[in-house]
Amino acid sequence: MAPASSRARLRTRDFDRIHRQPARRERSRRFQVLARPNGLERARWGISVKAKLGNAVVRNRVKRRLREILRRAELAAGWDFVVQPRDARVATAGFSDLREELSALLEQTLRG
């Protein structure tokens, strides 16, 4: 695992800022993506999974799958992203389907 200083994850205050004032918001069947410029030379991302999505096992599986997709994604520098799954089917859907849907949604978010 990469050292904490090189990880591109958001902090609590960044989550709060994006939720209060997203510059861009896009939805698909399974995801919602919030984005906001960050003024940095790198992209940062975070995952927000609501308790109504399922029990802890389901929520943790969803987060693991999304983390892997976001690690592999080529995100545009200078943006903060928050990805929110919209239903529990994300936990059981095919990984390649999730990757394609989320990648397309991230691109759509940047086109705004």
Q: Which pLDDT value is given to residue 112?
A: 76
d(CA 65, CA 3): 20
How buried is residue 70: exposed, middle or buried, by Cβ count under 10 Å (0-12/13-18/19+)? buried
What is the pTM for the complete model shown?
A: 0.88
pLDDT of residue 51: 95
Report how far Cα 31 is from the mean position of its chain's Cα atoms.
9
- pLDDT, greater one: 39 or 4: 39
For the chain, how big is the Rg over CA atoms in Å?
13
Average predicted confidence (pLDDT) for the chain: 91
Q: What is the pLDDT of residue 7?
A: 57
Give the β-pairing of 79-85 and 44-47: parallel
Spatial distance between the Cα atoms of 81 and 35, rounded to a whole number of angstroms = 5
| Predicted pLDDT of residue 29 | 95
Q: Is pLDDT larger for residue 30 or for residue 1?
A: 30
pLDDT of residue 90: 93
Burial label for 67, CB within 10 Å (0-12, 13-18, 19+), is middle
Question: In which order are the strands placed within the sheet that holds 31-37?
Answer: 24-27, 31-37, 79-85, 44-47
> What domains does the chain contain, in order, with CATH numbers?
4-111 (3.30.230.10)
Mean pLDDT across 54-77: 94
Q: What percent of the chain has pLDDT over 90?
A: 88
